[in-house]
Chains A and B, each alone.
Chain A
Amino acid sequence: MELNILLIEDDAIDAAMVERLLGNCYLKGRLSHNPKIIHTEYFQKGLDILEQNKRVDVVILDLHLPDGAGGELVRQLSKQYSEVPIVVLTGLDADDTLGVELVREGAEDYVCKDSVSESSLHRSIRYAIERHSLANQVKRQAQELKESNEELESFTYIASHDLRAPLVNIRGFSAELKSSVDSVLPALQKALPILAGDDKRVVEKELQKRIPSALAFIESSAEKMDRLIEAILYYSRLGRRKLKFEQVDSNELVKLCLNALEHQIKTTQTTIELGSLPVIVADRLSVEQVFGNLLDNALKYLDPGRAGRINIGCSEDRLQTTFWIKDNGRGMAQDDQHKVFEIFRRAGNVDKIPGDGIGMPNARAIIKRHNGSIWFESALGKGTSFYFTIPKNLSKDAGTS
């Protein structure tokens, strides 16, 4: 394949050298075609050429040009034309710091004018093109992933929104129907004595039993569906909320959560052990939700057979804070454990305990958005320990959307 090379170099001798080396690459069979070299002496002209000429496979860039110099050129070029790899041509024998800096600005490689050879130039160019195309592929895939995630989120939002409209009707008309039945019943009651035996039985059975029972099923199912949709909506809204990273006193936050649960703590006579927790940088509302969910669950799933004990603590290292909430509750069987973070799924031994199956998926989504992780250890009949980490590199005032 023919290579299109844009050479931006104001020194005629250096330019001629590069052209000669590249020509030799072809003559000696390193390149299958004679490379097509577009040469210019000015940075701006180089940009113009890239603008007009979509097909440039690689840019060879000198850093001392009449209209600009230094790493800034690399930065500008790679920002504006991210799809084209850049190989920098330096005058001095570049030390490693300069090289690293150039690569950071967006160059794929650099070659020294003093020591460049046909083979080193050829290798630089080939690798630059290859690396750059891989990097671009990764970038493209990341972009696609982001888009499909956003699509999924907006799909969830729209779907749950649109699912509600027909539910309003189902609930509305079943309520209307129930009130219609209720209002004709007294009149029918009066007429019952004059109906013949079979008719009487049918009217009694249908109007007094079957219809009300059917309506009750419709209403309770529609109501349940409503709750599920509400939960999905809540979940998707949460994913769309912009996080605000700020200093959060986790000790204070946990106390707030415990206050909200005071009633349950008292009625279950649960002992709370709260270690000292640090100030962290995180999204306040998120962390509050995670602690709230975990504490709520710990209390909800206590073992009625023994006094409840919940331990809240944390450990820290250089990179992250790991929080835990350990309970001596009923725990989960091995087979149930995979359901914990799945939406709407719940462990098998909690049938009688109300819950939507949304708290844990939520908590995981929140922690993920903090680049942390959440996991648990559980043994049936012994208790469950939840752990989650908050990285220490979340910068204040920043956030992810």
Chain B
Amino acid sequence: MNIRAKTLDKDTKILLVEDDQGHAELVKMNLERSGIENEIMHFENGRQAVDFLLGKQSADDTKYLMILDINMPGMNGLQVLDRIKSNQMTKSIPIIVLTTASDEKEIEYCYDLGCNVFITKPLDYSSFSQAMQDLGSFLKTAKIQGVRKPGYDQDNFVVYY
């Protein structure tokens, strides 16, 4: 899977894993505002999302894309990332980490685990709203060139606001 190589298909399901209901709602609103019409499924914790993806009996044809928060009670985002990316069946699902953390080490660690795009949640709402709409446009058109980080076999992006 390579984000920049293809645009987001209309039938790709977006899995939004975010424990904060409000954040999830704001992310959804702004993605929709940018013209994303894909179905967005919200999971309130990591466990639910992992169970949903790994609990499937047979490989299904549905394409998924995950937007993942890191700080969550119970199974946190890093564990989710690890579970999804270390499983043959699910590892090609693009994962966009969207979190308040901006610690260099955490970002590196996310990439080590196989995250495709890392976005720090802006705290100021107009930037937040802009960031989500940018993400929406990015997913729709995906013509932005990714920076290939040495040592990683996937294209990775870090987006700061």
> Could you list which residues of chain A lie within 8 angstroms of chain B, going by C-beta atoms?
161, 164-169, 171-173, 175-176, 223, 226, 230
- Of B20, B23, B123, B125, chain A has the most CB atoms within 10 Å of the CB of B125
Asked if B123 and A173 make an inter-chain contact with CB atoms under 8 angstroms apart, the answer reads: no
Asked if A176 and B20 make an inter-chain contact with CB atoms under 8 angstroms apart, the answer reads: no
Supply 12 further A-B pairs (C-beta < 8 A) apart from A164-B100, A165-B71, A175-B126. A168-B22, A168-B26, A168-B125, A169-B20, A169-B22, A169-B26, A171-B124, A172-B23, A173-B26, A175-B125, A226-B123, A226-B124
Which B102-126 residues have C-beta < 8 A from chain A?
121, 123-126
Residues of B within 8 A of A167 (CB): 123
Asked if A168 and B23 make an inter-chain contact with CB atoms under 8 angstroms apart, the answer reads: yes
Instruction: List the B residue with the shortest CB-CB distance to A165.
Output: B20
| Whole-angstrom distance between the Cβ of B19 and the nearest chain A Cβ | 9
Asked if A172 and B128 make an inter-chain contact with CB atoms under 8 angstroms apart, the answer reads: yes
Residues of A within 8 A of B89 (CB): none
Residues of A within 8 A of B20 (CB): 165-166, 168-169
Q: Is residue B129 within 8 Å, beta carbon to beta carbon, of the partner chain?
A: yes
B28-50: CB near A (< 8 Å → 1, else 0) gives: 01000000000000000000000
Chain B residues touching A, range: 10 to 19
Bound complex: CA A361 to CA B23 (Å)? 33
Residues of A within 8 A of B128 (CB): 168, 172
Asked if B100 and A161 make an inter-chain contact with CB atoms under 8 angstroms apart, the answer reads: yes
Instruction: List the A residue with the shortest CB-CB distance to B29.
Output: A176
Bound complex: CA A340 to CA B124 (Å)? 29
A sample of 6 inter-chain contacts (CB < 8 A) reads A161-B100, A165-B20, A168-B100, A169-B26, A171-B123, A175-B126
Instruction: List the B residue with the shortest CB-CB distance to A169.
Output: B22
Instruction: List the B residue with the shortest CB-CB distance to A175.
Output: B125
Residues of A within 8 A of B23 (CB): 165, 168-169, 172
Residues of A within 8 A of B125 (CB): 168, 171-172, 175
**Binding site secondary structure of chain B:** helix
Bound complex: CA A171 to CA B29 (Å)? 14
> Could you list which residues of chain B lie within 8 angstroms of chain A, going by C-beta atoms?
20, 22-23, 26, 29, 71, 100, 121, 123-126, 128-129
Sorted nearest first, the 5 A-B pairs with minimum C-beta distance are A169-B22, A171-B125, A172-B26, A175-B125, A172-B125
Asked if B22 and A172 make an inter-chain contact with CB atoms under 8 angstroms apart, the answer reads: yes
- Of A167, A169, A223, A230, chain B has the most CB atoms within 10 Å of the CB of A169
Bound complex: CA A169 to CA B21 (Å)? 9
Bound complex: CA A172 to CA B121 (Å)? 12
Bound complex: CA A166 to CA B100 (Å)? 12
Asked if B100 and A173 make an inter-chain contact with CB atoms under 8 angstroms apart, the answer reads: no
Bound complex: CA A175 to CA B129 (Å)? 10
Instruction: List the A residue with the shortest CB-CB distance to B26.
Output: A172
| Whole-angstrom distance between the Cβ of B22 and the nearest chain A Cβ | 3
Bound complex: CA A332 to CA B34 (Å)? 53
Residues of A within 8 A of B100 (CB): 161, 164-165, 168
| Whole-angstrom distance between the Cβ of B88 and the nearest chain A Cβ | 34
| Whole-angstrom distance between the Cβ of B87 and the nearest chain A Cβ | 29
Instruction: List the B residue with the shortest CB-CB distance to A222.
Output: B125
| Whole-angstrom distance between the Cβ of B136 and the nearest chain A Cβ | 16
Bound complex: CA A334 to CA B156 (Å)? 57
Instruction: List the A residue with the shortest CB-CB distance to B121.
Output: A168
| Whole-angstrom distance between the Cβ of B69 and the nearest chain A Cβ | 10
| Whole-angstrom distance between the Cβ of A316 and the nearest chain B Cβ | 38
Residues of B within 8 A of A230 (CB): 123
Residues of A within 8 A of B129 (CB): 172, 175
| Whole-angstrom distance between the Cβ of A363 and the nearest chain B Cβ | 25
Instruction: List the A residue with the shortest CB-CB distance to B101.
Output: A161
- Of A167, A171, A223, A226, chain B has the most CB atoms within 10 Å of the CB of A171
Bound complex: CA A226 to CA B128 (Å)? 14
Asked if A176 and B124 make an inter-chain contact with CB atoms under 8 angstroms apart, the answer reads: no
| Whole-angstrom distance between the Cβ of B76 and the nearest chain A Cβ | 14
Bound complex: CA A175 to CA B22 (Å)? 13
Residues of B within 8 A of A175 (CB): 125-126, 129
Instruction: List the A residue with the shortest CB-CB distance to B20.
Output: A165
| Whole-angstrom distance between the Cβ of A179 and the nearest chain B Cβ | 10
Instruction: List the B residue with the shortest CB-CB distance to A171.
Output: B125
Bound complex: CA A164 to CA B128 (Å)? 13
| Whole-angstrom distance between the Cβ of B71 and the nearest chain A Cβ | 8
Bound complex: CA A166 to CA B124 (Å)? 12
